[in-house]
Amino acid sequence: MIETWCWRCGVEYPMLKDSEWSVIQTAHALLHEDNYAPMHQLAADAKRLGLPRPRPVDTNAPLMAQRPWHMIAGYEMFTGILETSPPQETASW
């Protein structure tokens, strides 16, 4: 994890290194197999890397957040921060 200036937040914010992001990408690639496969992969990687186990899916979260929850949990696994306001698509290009 590295601290980088976030133009959206206006503060220094933890960003993932390429090696950390690849762990999340590997889990994300499993989404087409089974909705639970990414979280199982993250849990295995967390154990292998000596990181905290990823937070289980928040069933109170909006449905739009539940499907990509492995990405939210993966970010928290590396940074210790639970992202509560992911960017929203607001551009009307």
In this prediction the pTM is: 0.80
Q: What pLDDT score does 79 carry? A: 93
Confidence of residue 88 (pLDDT cuts 50, 70, 90): low
6-28 CB burial, b ≥16 within 10 A, e <16: eeeeeeebbbbeeebeebbeebb
In sequence order, what are the beta bridge partners of 3? 14
The residue whose two tokens read 């197999």 is: 33
Element (H, E) at 24: helix 18-28
Q: What pLDDT score does 87 carry? A: 53
20-73, pLDDT tens digit by residue? 999 999 999 998 888 889 999 999 999 999 999 999 988 887 877 788 889 999
DSSP string, 71-86: HHHHHHHHHS---SSP
